[in-house]
Homo-oligomer: A and B are copies of this chain.
């Protein structure tokens, strides 16, 4: 299948590109290195350096014998994006090309403006390019469980039937997020849902929880194929950060009471879910929504697990409950449905002590490169 990946240099984008290339798909990737630039500017580079996208693609060719075609440019640049659609005529496009950090989106006005402008213009351009050049193309868009927030009712899988005054209709499940980043993901859903109804686009929205891990079949083939791995409070996801903190002897940074509960998944399951979506596309005029996570944990439960495994490996792990820098409920009801992807055949990886130990092993190899000043600076919102 001809697959175009927007944001193909990212934490998930690059492993996705290799996974699909390995399975024999014809893969092109687009990236403008926005994430790399933002990390450099904010002094929060990852645990180790990763080769740029052109070098990654060359290395992948050398190791696997397979080609991935890279395009360096901005999905907000419509002439650039539409030329690639016109030439390549993708059958599916995976949309990772968004500013993905909630804390970044809350830093200052410039960061907020960049987040909203980048995330909505890239999605708008995607809808227009598909409509103009490949109207049957399946759009697989990464949403986030954070769009739902923490409502007091069960979270359904994207849609909700509402009975009201004796009549009934079906609506997008109500969304109310806890950061500007997550709000832009609600807004890009609004946008795609509009064009799905108007132009009969075929869209799958993967409402993903926080991802952890740095090992996939392809990244493990060679040190130069690793994905990037942030451990700072802006771009690092919580479990990845905790493992680095444990190795560095830095107290695990639990925000407030630590009762915040979310649905998590291993990066290997992200790849599996995106592939399941690819192989069973949405129909024209359908916005199909899956809740993409495997297990729910509170932040305290994550801290407990990291502590246990870290101590067993000889680290002196401590936990610190910090004054919460975020505006969020620290204890709340949380009961999200997530049956759709299992019904498509997902075999989840669970967060076992063994999986955690494997994460520790990689981080321990880079222990000397951890910069404690990058871990926590207390950005508030």
Contacts and interface: CB of A to CB of B under 8 A. Distances in A.
A112 B176 CA distance: 25
Contacts of A172: 174, 176
Given A183-B191, A194-B177, A194-B183, A152 B168 contact: yes
Interface residues of A, number: 44
Contacts of A168: 152-153
Contacts of A128: 109, 112
A165 B169 contact: no
B198 A191 contact: no
A306 B259 CA distance: 62
Contacts of A169: 151-153
B154 A176 contact: no
A78 B160 contact: no
B167 A153 contact: yes
A123 to B, nearest CB: 9
Given A116-B124, A190-B187, A153 B165 contact: yes
A164 interface: yes
A159 to B, nearest CB: 10
A186 interface: yes
A82 to B, nearest CB: 8
Most chain B CB within 10 A, of A109, A121, A191, is at A109
A379 interface: no
In the complex, the count of this chain's copies comes to: 2
A62 interface: no
B164 A153 contact: yes
A289 interface: no
A80 interface: no
A113 interface: yes
Nearest to A167: B153
Nearest to A106: B198
Contacts of A165: 153-154
Contact of A190 (B117, B152, B186): B186
A376 interface: no
Contact of A160 (B113, B162, B193): B162
Contact of A174 (B109, B120, B174, B180): B174
Interface in A327-354: 327, 333
Contacts of A197: 176, 327
A154 B167 contact: yes
A160 B171 CA distance: 12
A381 interface: yes
A183 B190 contact: yes
A78 B174 contact: no
Nearest to A192: B183
Nearest to A327: B198
Count chain B CB atoms within 10 A of each CB in A152, A162, A163, A197 and give the residue with the most. A162
B171 A194 contact: no
Contact of A164 (B109, B113, B121, B160): B160
B124 A198 contact: no
Q: Which of A174, A193, A194 has the largest count of B CB atoms less than 10 A from its CB? A: A194
Nearest to A326: B198
12 contacts: A112-B124, A113-B125, A120-B120, A156-B164, A160-B164, A176-B194, A180-B191, A183-B190, A183-B191, A186-B190, A187-B187, A198-B327
Closest 9 CB pairs of A and B: A171-B174, A152-B169, A187-B187, A153-B164, A183-B194, A153-B167, A109-B128, A151-B169, A198-B327
